[in-house]
């Protein structure tokens, strides 16, 4: 078993006992960056898309890059 799995089990099992405990499961709004620092809100760059997906042509690379960014936003619970 991985050490992080052991730690996770320990904190879930004994976490309720600790006085002044910190909540481990936080809402996406609590961990989302400030809007001025959120790079996912910036418009996608063609240069970044080309670097990430060099095997695709420009249009397909940009579309795939936008899809990747939307998936990241959805996974983090930030919405669209």
Q: What is the pLDDT of residue 6?
A: 84
Q: For residues 49 and 47, what is the distance between their CA atoms, to the nearest angstrom?
A: 5
Give the per-residue pLDDT at 79: 57
Contact 62, 46 (CB under 8 A): yes
Rounded to whole angstroms, the Cα distance separating 32 from 78 reads 7
Model confidence over 2-54: pLDDT tens digits?
Answer: 888 888 787 777 766 666 666 666 676 776 767 777 777 777 889 999 999 99
User: What pLDDT, on a 0 to 100 scale, did the predictor assign at position 13?
Assistant: 76
Q: Is the pLDDT of residue 77 over 60?
A: yes
Distance CA 76, CA 44 (A): 18
What pTM did the predictor assign? 0.52
């Amino acid at each position: 078993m991985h050490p992080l799995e052991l730690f996770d089990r320990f904190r879930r099992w004994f976490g309720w006992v600790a006085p002044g405990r910190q909540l481990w499961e936080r809402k996406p709004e609590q961990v989302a960056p400030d809007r001025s620092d959120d790079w996912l809100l910036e418009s996608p760059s063609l240069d970044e898309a080309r670097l990430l997906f060099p095997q695709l042509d420009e249009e397909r690379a940009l579309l795939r890059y936008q899809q990747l960014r939307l998936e990241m936003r959805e996974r983090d619970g930030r919405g669209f």
